[in-house]
Amino acid sequence: MHAGLAAPALAAIAAPAAARGAEPSPHAAARPDDARPRLKQSVCAWCFGGMTLDELCALAKRIGIGAIDLLNEDQWRVPAQHGLACAVANGPGGITKGWNRTEQHDALVKRSEELLPKVAAARIPQMIVFSGNRDGMKDDEGLRQCAAGLKRIMPLAEKAGVTVIMELLNSKVDHGDYMCDRTAWGVELCKQVGSDRFRLLYDIYHMQIMEGDVIRTIETSHPWIAHYHTAGNPGRSNLDDTQELNYRGICRAIRQTGFDGWLAQEFMPRGDAAAALEAAFRACDA
Protein backbone atom coordinates (compact mmCIF):
# COMPACT_ATOMS: atom_id res chain seq x y z
CA MET A 1 0.00 0.00 0.00
CA HIS A 2 2.72 2.44 0.97
CA ALA A 3 6.42 2.51 0.27
CA GLY A 4 8.50 1.01 3.08
CA LEU A 5 9.35 3.52 5.79
CA ALA A 6 13.07 2.82 5.28
CA ALA A 7 13.07 3.80 1.59
CA PRO A 8 13.75 7.57 2.02
CA ALA A 9 16.61 6.88 4.38
CA LEU A 10 18.13 4.36 1.99
CA ALA A 11 17.80 6.79 -0.90
CA ALA A 12 19.56 9.49 1.10
CA ILE A 13 22.44 7.11 1.80
CA ALA A 14 22.73 5.80 -1.76
CA ALA A 15 22.58 9.18 -3.55
CA PRO A 16 25.89 10.63 -2.28
CA ALA A 17 27.67 7.36 -3.06
CA ALA A 18 26.36 7.39 -6.63
CA ALA A 19 27.43 11.02 -7.03
CA ARG A 20 30.98 10.02 -6.09
CA GLY A 21 30.90 7.18 -8.60
CA ALA A 22 31.16 4.65 -5.80
CA GLU A 23 29.35 1.34 -5.81
CA PRO A 24 25.99 1.72 -4.01
CA SER A 25 25.49 -0.28 -0.85
CA PRO A 26 24.04 -3.75 -1.58
CA HIS A 27 21.49 -3.04 1.15
CA ALA A 28 20.21 -0.07 -0.87
CA ALA A 29 19.85 -2.04 -4.11
CA ALA A 30 16.30 -2.47 -5.35
CA ARG A 31 14.85 -5.95 -5.04
CA PRO A 32 13.57 -7.53 -8.27
CA ASP A 33 9.98 -7.33 -7.00
CA ASP A 34 10.08 -3.64 -5.98
CA ALA A 35 7.95 -2.67 -8.98
CA ARG A 36 5.00 -4.64 -7.62
CA PRO A 37 2.39 -2.74 -5.55
CA ARG A 38 2.73 -2.97 -1.78
CA LEU A 39 0.31 -5.31 -0.03
CA LYS A 40 -2.95 -3.66 0.94
CA GLN A 41 -3.50 -4.08 4.66
CA SER A 42 -6.65 -4.27 6.74
CA VAL A 43 -7.35 -4.94 10.42
CA CYS A 44 -10.05 -7.07 12.06
CA ALA A 45 -12.24 -5.14 14.45
CA TRP A 46 -13.18 -7.95 16.83
CA CYS A 47 -9.68 -8.50 18.26
CA PHE A 48 -9.15 -4.81 19.02
CA GLY A 49 -12.15 -4.64 21.30
CA GLY A 50 -10.37 -2.38 23.76
CA MET A 51 -11.17 0.56 21.49
CA THR A 52 -14.29 1.71 19.67
CA LEU A 53 -14.61 1.15 15.94
CA ASP A 54 -14.12 4.88 15.38
CA GLU A 55 -10.93 4.78 17.44
CA LEU A 56 -9.66 1.74 15.53
CA CYS A 57 -10.41 3.43 12.21
CA ALA A 58 -8.53 6.57 13.26
CA LEU A 59 -5.55 4.47 14.36
CA ALA A 60 -5.58 2.43 11.16
CA LYS A 61 -5.69 5.60 9.07
CA ARG A 62 -2.72 7.06 10.94
CA ILE A 63 -0.65 3.90 10.51
CA GLY A 64 -1.43 3.49 6.81
CA ILE A 65 -3.91 0.60 7.02
CA GLY A 66 -6.62 1.02 4.40
CA ALA A 67 -9.56 -1.12 5.55
CA ILE A 68 -11.40 -2.84 8.40
CA ASP A 69 -12.39 -6.53 8.34
CA LEU A 70 -15.37 -8.51 9.61
CA LEU A 71 -18.04 -5.88 10.17
CA ASN A 72 -21.77 -6.31 10.63
CA GLU A 73 -24.27 -4.40 8.52
CA ASP A 74 -24.79 -1.68 11.14
CA GLN A 75 -21.01 -1.01 11.15
CA TRP A 76 -20.31 -0.80 7.40
CA ARG A 77 -20.68 2.99 7.21
CA VAL A 78 -18.07 3.73 9.89
CA PRO A 79 -14.82 3.05 7.96
CA ALA A 80 -15.96 5.27 5.09
CA GLN A 81 -16.30 8.18 7.52
CA HIS A 82 -12.55 7.85 8.08
CA GLY A 83 -11.64 7.40 4.42
CA LEU A 84 -11.24 3.62 4.82
CA ALA A 85 -12.85 0.62 3.14
CA CYS A 86 -14.55 -2.40 4.67
CA ALA A 87 -12.68 -5.36 3.19
CA VAL A 88 -14.92 -8.19 4.45
CA ALA A 89 -18.54 -8.23 5.57
CA ASN A 90 -19.76 -10.77 8.08
CA GLY A 91 -21.93 -13.30 6.29
CA PRO A 92 -24.68 -15.71 7.32
CA GLY A 93 -24.27 -18.43 9.91
CA GLY A 94 -21.48 -19.10 12.37
CA ILE A 95 -18.32 -21.14 12.71
CA THR A 96 -19.77 -24.32 14.25
CA LYS A 97 -22.97 -24.61 12.17
CA GLY A 98 -22.34 -23.84 8.54
CA TRP A 99 -22.62 -24.90 4.93
CA ASN A 100 -21.71 -28.56 5.47
CA ARG A 101 -25.21 -29.26 6.82
CA THR A 102 -28.03 -29.63 4.31
CA GLU A 103 -30.55 -28.66 6.99
CA GLN A 104 -28.79 -25.28 7.31
CA HIS A 105 -28.89 -24.47 3.61
CA ASP A 106 -32.30 -22.84 3.27
CA ALA A 107 -31.65 -20.39 6.12
CA LEU A 108 -28.11 -19.65 4.92
CA VAL A 109 -29.26 -19.10 1.35
CA LYS A 110 -32.10 -16.84 2.44
CA ARG A 111 -29.79 -14.69 4.56
CA SER A 112 -27.19 -14.60 1.77
CA GLU A 113 -29.86 -13.38 -0.66
CA GLU A 114 -30.66 -10.58 1.77
CA LEU A 115 -27.02 -9.65 2.40
CA LEU A 116 -25.30 -9.91 -0.98
CA PRO A 117 -27.10 -6.98 -2.67
CA LYS A 118 -26.47 -4.83 0.42
CA VAL A 119 -22.80 -5.82 0.54
CA ALA A 120 -22.47 -4.88 -3.13
CA ALA A 121 -24.27 -1.56 -2.61
CA ALA A 122 -21.87 -0.76 0.25
CA ARG A 123 -18.96 -1.51 -2.14
CA ILE A 124 -17.61 -4.25 0.09
CA PRO A 125 -15.75 -6.78 -2.08
CA GLN A 126 -16.12 -9.91 0.08
CA MET A 127 -18.43 -11.75 2.45
CA ILE A 128 -17.18 -14.41 4.86
CA VAL A 129 -18.75 -17.86 5.39
CA PHE A 130 -17.79 -20.99 7.35
CA SER A 131 -17.97 -24.74 6.77
CA GLY A 132 -19.25 -25.67 10.21
CA ASN A 133 -17.99 -28.45 12.48
CA ARG A 134 -17.72 -32.10 11.49
CA ASP A 135 -19.85 -33.47 14.35
CA GLY A 136 -19.20 -36.99 13.05
CA MET A 137 -19.56 -36.13 9.37
CA LYS A 138 -16.90 -37.41 6.98
CA ASP A 139 -14.90 -34.76 5.16
CA ASP A 140 -15.89 -35.89 1.66
CA GLU A 141 -19.57 -35.71 2.59
CA GLY A 142 -19.07 -32.25 4.07
CA LEU A 143 -17.33 -31.19 0.88
CA ARG A 144 -20.33 -32.24 -1.22
CA GLN A 145 -22.79 -30.58 1.17
CA CYS A 146 -20.87 -27.30 1.24
CA ALA A 147 -20.56 -27.23 -2.54
CA ALA A 148 -24.26 -27.94 -3.04
CA GLY A 149 -25.32 -25.15 -0.72
CA LEU A 150 -22.83 -22.57 -1.96
CA LYS A 151 -23.72 -23.19 -5.60
CA ARG A 152 -27.19 -21.90 -4.78
CA ILE A 153 -25.88 -18.41 -4.00
CA MET A 154 -23.16 -18.16 -6.66
CA PRO A 155 -25.40 -16.68 -9.39
CA LEU A 156 -26.34 -13.81 -7.06
CA ALA A 157 -22.73 -13.35 -5.87
CA GLU A 158 -21.59 -13.23 -9.50
CA LYS A 159 -24.29 -10.71 -10.40
CA ALA A 160 -23.47 -8.59 -7.33
CA GLY A 161 -19.72 -8.77 -7.92
CA VAL A 162 -19.09 -9.98 -4.36
CA THR A 163 -16.62 -12.76 -3.60
CA VAL A 164 -17.77 -15.25 -0.97
CA ILE A 165 -14.78 -16.44 1.05
CA MET A 166 -14.61 -19.44 3.38
CA GLU A 167 -12.07 -19.18 6.17
CA LEU A 168 -9.50 -21.88 6.86
CA LEU A 169 -9.35 -22.34 10.66
CA ASN A 170 -7.35 -24.67 12.86
CA SER A 171 -9.20 -27.49 14.62
CA LYS A 172 -6.25 -28.27 16.91
CA VAL A 173 -6.16 -25.25 19.25
CA ASP A 174 -8.94 -22.72 18.66
CA HIS A 175 -11.82 -24.32 16.75
CA GLY A 176 -11.99 -27.99 17.62
CA ASP A 177 -13.82 -30.16 15.06
CA TYR A 178 -14.04 -27.38 12.42
CA MET A 179 -14.15 -28.99 8.97
CA CYS A 180 -12.44 -26.47 6.66
CA ASP A 181 -9.12 -26.90 8.47
CA ARG A 182 -6.78 -27.82 5.59
CA THR A 183 -5.88 -25.91 2.46
CA ALA A 184 -6.28 -28.94 0.17
CA TRP A 185 -9.87 -29.44 1.37
CA GLY A 186 -10.64 -25.77 0.75
CA VAL A 187 -9.08 -25.80 -2.71
CA GLU A 188 -11.13 -28.85 -3.65
CA LEU A 189 -14.26 -27.04 -2.44
CA CYS A 190 -13.42 -24.10 -4.70
CA LYS A 191 -13.10 -26.48 -7.63
CA GLN A 192 -16.43 -28.14 -6.85
CA VAL A 193 -18.27 -24.83 -6.44
CA GLY A 194 -16.78 -23.79 -9.78
CA SER A 195 -17.23 -20.01 -9.57
CA ASP A 196 -14.68 -17.20 -9.61
CA ARG A 197 -16.80 -15.63 -6.86
CA PHE A 198 -15.98 -18.36 -4.35
CA ARG A 199 -12.50 -18.39 -2.86
CA LEU A 200 -10.62 -19.04 0.41
CA LEU A 201 -9.57 -16.86 3.30
CA TYR A 202 -6.12 -18.24 4.13
CA ASP A 203 -5.43 -17.54 7.79
CA ILE A 204 -1.66 -17.79 8.19
CA TYR A 205 -1.82 -18.39 11.94
CA HIS A 206 -4.41 -21.15 11.67
CA MET A 207 -2.68 -22.94 8.81
CA GLN A 208 0.71 -22.74 10.53
CA ILE A 209 -0.84 -24.77 13.34
CA MET A 210 -2.49 -27.31 11.03
CA GLU A 211 0.02 -27.65 8.19
CA GLY A 212 3.06 -25.41 8.42
CA ASP A 213 4.90 -25.05 5.06
CA VAL A 214 3.14 -21.70 4.67
CA ILE A 215 5.11 -20.13 1.82
CA ARG A 216 5.06 -23.25 -0.37
CA THR A 217 1.29 -23.57 0.21
CA ILE A 218 0.75 -19.95 -0.77
CA GLU A 219 2.83 -20.40 -3.91
CA THR A 220 0.88 -23.49 -5.01
CA SER A 221 -2.62 -22.53 -3.83
CA HIS A 222 -2.74 -18.77 -4.43
CA PRO A 223 -5.23 -18.93 -7.35
CA TRP A 224 -7.88 -20.03 -4.84
CA ILE A 225 -6.98 -17.50 -2.11
CA ALA A 226 -8.76 -14.14 -2.05
CA HIS A 227 -7.83 -12.86 1.41
CA TYR A 228 -5.26 -13.39 4.17
CA HIS A 229 -5.30 -13.07 7.97
CA THR A 230 -2.33 -12.84 10.33
CA ALA A 231 -1.43 -13.57 13.95
CA GLY A 232 1.69 -14.67 15.79
CA ASN A 233 2.04 -18.36 16.64
CA PRO A 234 2.01 -19.55 19.35
CA GLY A 235 -0.38 -17.32 21.24
CA ARG A 236 -2.35 -15.65 18.42
CA SER A 237 -0.79 -12.38 19.48
CA ASN A 238 1.76 -9.81 18.34
CA LEU A 239 3.85 -10.27 15.20
CA ASP A 240 7.13 -10.02 17.10
CA ASP A 241 10.20 -12.11 17.92
CA THR A 242 8.36 -14.19 20.51
CA GLN A 243 6.60 -16.15 17.76
CA GLU A 244 7.76 -18.43 14.97
CA LEU A 245 6.37 -17.00 11.73
CA ASN A 246 8.56 -14.85 9.46
CA TYR A 247 5.89 -12.43 8.31
CA ARG A 248 8.23 -10.34 6.19
CA GLY A 249 9.18 -13.40 4.15
CA ILE A 250 5.60 -14.66 3.99
CA CYS A 251 4.26 -11.30 2.82
CA ARG A 252 7.00 -11.01 0.22
CA ALA A 253 5.93 -14.44 -1.10
CA ILE A 254 2.29 -13.32 -1.20
CA ARG A 255 3.26 -10.20 -3.09
CA GLN A 256 5.29 -12.21 -5.60
CA THR A 257 2.20 -14.25 -6.54
CA GLY A 258 0.69 -11.03 -7.91
CA PHE A 259 -1.92 -10.91 -5.14
CA ASP A 260 -3.91 -7.66 -5.24
CA GLY A 261 -6.40 -8.28 -2.43
CA TRP A 262 -6.24 -7.49 1.29
CA LEU A 263 -4.09 -8.92 4.08
CA ALA A 264 -5.70 -8.28 7.45
CA GLN A 265 -4.16 -8.15 10.91
CA GLU A 266 -6.19 -10.50 13.13
CA PHE A 267 -4.16 -10.91 16.30
CA MET A 268 -5.04 -10.22 19.92
CA PRO A 269 -2.63 -7.45 20.93
CA ARG A 270 -0.39 -7.83 23.94
CA GLY A 271 0.68 -4.65 25.71
CA ASP A 272 0.16 -1.36 23.86
CA ALA A 273 -2.41 -2.23 21.18
CA ALA A 274 -1.58 0.75 18.96
CA ALA A 275 2.15 0.00 19.04
CA ALA A 276 1.49 -3.69 18.34
CA LEU A 277 -0.67 -2.87 15.33
CA GLU A 278 1.88 -0.45 13.91
CA ALA A 279 4.66 -3.01 14.36
CA ALA A 280 2.53 -5.64 12.60
CA PHE A 281 1.87 -3.25 9.73
CA ARG A 282 5.60 -2.67 9.30
CA ALA A 283 6.38 -6.40 9.49
CA CYS A 284 3.91 -7.11 6.69
CA ASP A 285 4.75 -4.07 4.55
CA ALA A 286 6.73 -6.24 2.15
DSSP output for 174-191: TSTTBS--SHHHHHHHHH
Instruction: Give me the mean pLDDT over the 93-115 stretch.
Output: 97
The per-residue pLDDT for 36 is 59
Comparing CA positions, the residue from 84, 81, 154, 86 lying closest to residue 119 is: 86
Positions of E strands within 34-129:
40-44, 67-71, 85-90, 126-129
CA separation for the pair 170, 147 (Å, rounded): 20
Between CA 163 and CA 232, with CA 183 as vertex, the angle to 5 degrees is: 90
Positions of E strands within 2-119:
40-44, 67-71, 85-90
What length does the chain have? 286
pLDDT per residue over 42-84, tens digit each?
Answer: 999 999 988 999 999 999 999 999 999 999 999 999 999 999 9
pLDDT per residue over 123-166, tens digit each?
Answer: 999 999 999 999 999 999 999 999 999 999 999 999 999 999 99
CATH number of the domain at 39-284, please? 3.20.20.150
| Residue-wise DSSP of 105-153 | HHHHHHHHHHHHHHHHHTT--EEEE---B-TT--HHHHHHHHHHHHHTT
pLDDT per residue over 153-205, tens digit each?
Answer: 999 999 999 999 999 999 999 999 999 999 999 999 999 999 999 999 999 99
CA separation for the pair 116, 127 (Å, rounded): 8
Report domain extents, the chain: 39-284
Question: Cα–chain-centroid distance for residue 92?
Answer: 18
CA separation for the pair 123, 267 (Å, rounded): 25
Backbone dihedral angles phi then psi of residue 199, each to the nearest 5 degrees:
-145, -175
Which of 21-25, 54-58, 263-267 shows the lowest mean pLDDT across its residues? 21-25
If you ran DSSP here, which 8-state letter would residue 5 be given? T
In our burial notation (b when 16+ CB lie closer than 10 A, e otherwise), range 81-116 reads ebebbbbbbbbbbeeebbbbbeebbeebbeebeebb
